[in-house]
Amino acid sequence: MDRVRDNGIAEVNKLTKVPEINNKKDQVIKAIKSIDLGSALKSKADKDLSSVKNKAIEDIKRAAEVKLREIDNANISPEAKARLRAGVEGEKNKGIDAVGKATDTNTVNAERDKAIHAINAISLDADKASKELKDAKDRSIVAIINAANKKSNDIGRSDVLPETKIRLRAMVETEKNKGIDAVNRANTVESAKLESDKAVKIIESIVIEDDPRIKQELELKDAKIKAIEAIKKSVDSKNKEIDTANLTPEARERLRLQVEAERSKGIDGVKTSRDVAEVNTERDKAIKVIEGINLDKDKREKAELDLKDAKRLGIDAIEKAARDKNKEIDDADLLPEAKDRLHKQIEAEKIKGIDAVNKAMTVSGAKFESDKAVNVIRAISLDADKKAKQDLDEVRRTAIKAVRDKGVEILKDLEKRNLDPKEKSRLKDKINEIVDTAVKNIGVADRNGIDPIKKIKAIKDLEALILDIKKIRTR
Q: What is the pTM of this model?
A: 0.41
Instruction: Give the sign of the dihedral formed by CA 212, CA 217, CA 218, CA 220.
Output: positive
Instruction: Give the sign of the dihedral formed by CA 190, CA 194, CA 195, CA 200.
Output: positive
Amino acid at 347: E
Can you give the pLDDT at residue 121?
A: 83
Question: Is the bond into 162 cis (omega within 30 degrees of 0)?
Answer: no
What would the mean pLDDT of 446-472 be, rounded to a whole number? Answer: 68
Can you give the pLDDT at residue 12?
A: 67
Q: How many CA atoms lie within 13 A of 147 on its CB side?
A: 26
Cβ(307)–Cβ(362) under 8 Å?
Answer: yes
What would the mean pLDDT of 260-284 be, rounded to a whole number? Answer: 94
In terms of C-beta density within 10 A (0-12 exposed, 13-18 middle, 19 or more buried), how is residue 125 classed? Answer: exposed
Rounded to whole angstroms, the Cα distance separating 113 from 91 reads: 12
CB burial readout 271-303, b (16+ within 10 A) else e = eebeebeebbebbebbbebbeeeebeebeeebe
Angle formed by the axes of helices 383-416 and 457-471, nearest 10°: 0
Whether residue 475 has pLDDT greater than 60: no
Which residues neighbour 134 within 8 Å (Cβ) at sequence distance 6 or greater? 77
Which residues neighbour 2 within 8 Å (Cβ) at sequence distance 6 or greater? none
Condensed to tens digits (0 to 9), the pLDDT of residues 81-129 reads 898 889 889 989 998 998 989 989 999 989 999 988 988 888 877 777 7
Rounded to whole angstroms, the Cα distance separating 190 from 112 reads: 43
Can you give the pLDDT at residue 211?
A: 61
Rounded to whole angstroms, the Cα distance separating 445 from 302 reads: 60
Cβ(13)–Cβ(5) under 8 Å?
Answer: no
Count Cβ atoms below 10 Å from residue 138 Cβ, excluding itself.
Answer: 12
Whether residue 139 has pLDDT greater than 60: yes
What would the mean pLDDT of 247-265 be, rounded to a whole number? Answer: 93
Read out DSSP for 319-363? Answer: HHHHHHHHHHHHHS---HHHHHHHHHHHHHHHHHHHHHHHH--SH
Whether residue 230 has pLDDT greater than 90: yes
Can you give the pLDDT at residue 37?
A: 46
Condensed to tens digits (0 to 9), the pLDDT of residues 20-48 reads 777 777 776 777 766 554 444 445 556 78
Polymer length of the chain: 475
For residues 461 and 269, which has the higher predicted lDDT (pLDDT)? 269
